[in-house]
Amino acid sequence: MLTVNEVTEIFYLSDEFSKEFDKTFKKHVLSQSADKRTRNKPNRLSKSEVMTILIIFHLSRFRNLKHFYLFYV
């Protein structure tokens, strides 16, 4: 599979992409109405972590994400 350094590099690149995407997204998103309530519950995994898991899954030879997550992650 992949080495620790390769996984770290994938995470770093996805984290940098996520930061830039969020900045650009906030510039172009429409404002929300004041009467709509939102939840501010923190996520368990960051976007970068999820992206890293999915990238490594697609680089692996596992056939489905459940087996990959249970046996590799």
Q: Which residue has the tokens 């976007």?
A: 47
Question: Taken in order 28, 39, 66, 73, is the CA torsion positive or negative?
Answer: positive
| DSSP H helical ranges for the chain | 4-28, 47-59, 65-71
**Contact (CB, 8 A) for 35 and 73:** no
Q: Which residue has the tokens 């900045």?
A: 23
pTM of the model: 0.78
Spell out the per-residue pLDDT of the chain, length 73, in tens: 789 999 999 999 999 999 999 999 988 887 766 666 767 777 789 999 999 999 999 999 889 999 998 988 8
